[in-house]
Amino acid sequence: MSHILAIDQGTTSSRALVFAPDMRVCGLGQQEITQHFPAPGHVEHDPAEIWETTRATARAALDQAFKDYKPNAVMHFAALSQVGESVTDPGKYWRNNIGGSFNLIEA
């Protein structure tokens, strides 16, 4: 097994970690994201901010890990909580979920 880049998009932050084969963390990036509360019990996030913080944290984790290691593969797993986006704005859906794989490979 080689190194793994894991991305965690949480409610309050974007986080990326690079794991070595022995599961040691050899790269880490994290940035908070802005919380918007339009009504009591509701929270919203800006998709562009999520994308930018995800890219920045992945870059930070990879830069830190690349100081000592060279990965030989990149995998990207996408999760979607707002399925309606794939119908109402398929271009945005593609850029956010499919296009993200290509951006990670280029990183």
Give the model confidence (pLDDT) of 6-25 as tens digits.
898 888 899 999 888 888 89
What DSSP designation does 68 have?
T
- Confidence class of residue 100 from pLDDT cuts 50, 70 and 90? low
The rounded Cα 11 to chain-centroid distance in angstroms is 13
CA distance 6 to 58: 8
Give the model confidence (pLDDT) of 73-85 as tens digits.
655 555 555 555 5
Lowest mean pLDDT segment, chosen from 20-24, 41-45, 58-62, 72-76: 72-76
What DSSP designation does 7 have?
E
- Confidence class of residue 32 from pLDDT cuts 50, 70 and 90? very high
CA distance 88 to 91: 9
The C-alpha R_g of the chain, in whole angstroms, comes to: 15
CA distance 25 to 90: 35
Q: Which amino acid is at 25?
A: V
pTM here is 0.63
Beta bridge partners of 29: 16
- Confidence class of residue 65 from pLDDT cuts 50, 70 and 90? confident
Residue appearing with tokens 């109402």: 88
Classify the C-alpha dihedral 93-84-31-68 as positive or negative.
negative
Q: Which residue has the higher pLDDT, 63 or 76?
A: 63
